[in-house]
Structure 1
Amino acid sequence: MTETELRQQISGLCRSLFDRGFSVGTAGNVSVRLPDGILMTPTNATLGDIDPERIAKVDFDGNHVAGDRPTKELFLHQAFYETRADAGAVVHLHSTWATALSCLEDTDPENCVPPLTPYVVMRVGPVRLVPYVRPGDPRAGDLIRDLGGAYAAVLLANHGTVVCGRNLFGACCAAEELEETAKLLIALRGLPARSLSSAQVSELSATFGRI
């Protein structure tokens, strides 16, 4: 896709996320990797009304090249691009159920999202909880870099989710799948829930990989 087409796609998918309640107010941000930099939603912008021509463009060092000023969460996006060669897009949301999961004291930081369904295995993979830092703090990027690219999705403690994908559509689908799985996890709390077995997870990974 050309840069112009990607700008249109960002605008359209952001509006879809907003309209379906995955983002409220000015929460959340989205980016796409280009050959010569990164397209990124602007700071203090609602995902429901992203002007394609005003989407920020930065170089790989984070220097502002074009459009409005980029989101203050630039560091989250850079960290995934720097540590995962397969990351073509990054989606950061404050979606309700995943954010709730990030606030629970007993959420396992090493394994936030057990393999409840085949699609969370296929689209999201394992999820790590990273400690809280204030929004816009560059240390958030460092926490993701410290994971060495081992995770395509993280929960930010008391904040929300960051998910990468090979392309923007895939990243959005993964972010939505993570939200729905978090909803299932909270709905099943206290009940004798059954997760997929290691053999079943291995079969899914061998057959489909991570979409």
Structure 2
Amino acid sequence: MSERELRERIAMQGQSLFDRGLTAGSSGNISVRLPDGMLITPTNSCLGRLDPDRITKLDNVGNVVAGDKPSKEAFLHHSMYQSRPDEQAIVHLHSTHSVAVSCLANIDESNVLPPITAYYVMRVGTLPLVPYYPPGDVELAGAVEKAAKLSHAVLLSNHGPVVAGGDLDKAVNATEELEETAKLFLMLRHEPTRFLTPQQVQDLAK
């Protein structure tokens, strides 16, 4: 896609996420990798009302080339791209059920959600939990970069998911699958539950 098409695609997907209640207010951000940097949603922008022309373009060292001031969480995207050179887009949301799971005590920090469905295993797979850092703390970058070496999706403690994909549609689809699985996990948490077996997970991985 051309840069213009990518800008329009970011705005379209942002509105879709907002309209379906997966992000609220000015929370969340979306980026797409470019050969010479990345496009990222501006700071304090509502994903439901993005102007394609005002989406920020950063060069490879983080300088603003075009558009508005970038999201203050741009460093999260840069860190994940550093760890995952083949991924082309990232979605970070404060989606309700995923955030709720990120606040729970006694969850498996190496892989937060169990294999409830085949589609979760295929689209998300492993979900490591990143320790809590205050908003804007640059030390979070190193923690995300480390966790992203293990998975294309990570969950920030008391914050929300950061999900990378081979293109923007794949990143959005994986983020939505994660949110739906978090919802199922909370619904089933106190019920006897039949998860996929390790063999079933291994077969899906193939």
Fold shared, TM-score > 0.5 on shorter chain? yes
Shift of residue 75, structure 1, vs aligned partner: 1.2
Matched, 1:111 2:100: no
Distance 1:179 1:148, change over 3 A: closer
TM-score (norm 2): 0.98
The one-letter code of the counterpart of 1:69 is K
Shift of residue 148, structure 1, vs aligned partner: 5.6
Residue of structure 1 in register with 2:54 after alignment: 54
Residue of structure 2 in register with 1:90 after alignment: 90
Give per-residue Cα distances to partners, 1:109-164, cap 9 Å, x unaligned.
11101111001111111001111111122111110112362111111100111000
TM-score (norm 1): 0.95
RMSD: 0.9
CA distance in 2, matches of 1:24, 1:2: 29
After superposing on structure 2, the runs of 4+ consecutive aligned residues of structure 1 that deviate more than 6 Å are none
Alignment check: 8 A CA contact 2:32 2:90 kept: yes
The one-letter code of the counterpart of 1:198 is P
Partner of 2:23, secondary structure, is: coil
CA distance in 2, matches of 1:147, 1:190: 29
Unaligned runs of 5+ in 2: none
CA distance in 2, matches of 1:79, 1:138: 10
Report the count of equivalent residues. 206
Moved more, 192-201 or 140-149: 140-149
Residue of structure 2 in register with 1:21 after alignment: 21
Unaligned runs of 5+ in 1: 207-211
Residue of structure 2 in register with 1:209 after alignment: none
Distance 1:148 1:123, change over 3 A: closer
CA distance in 2, matches of 1:114, 1:181: 9
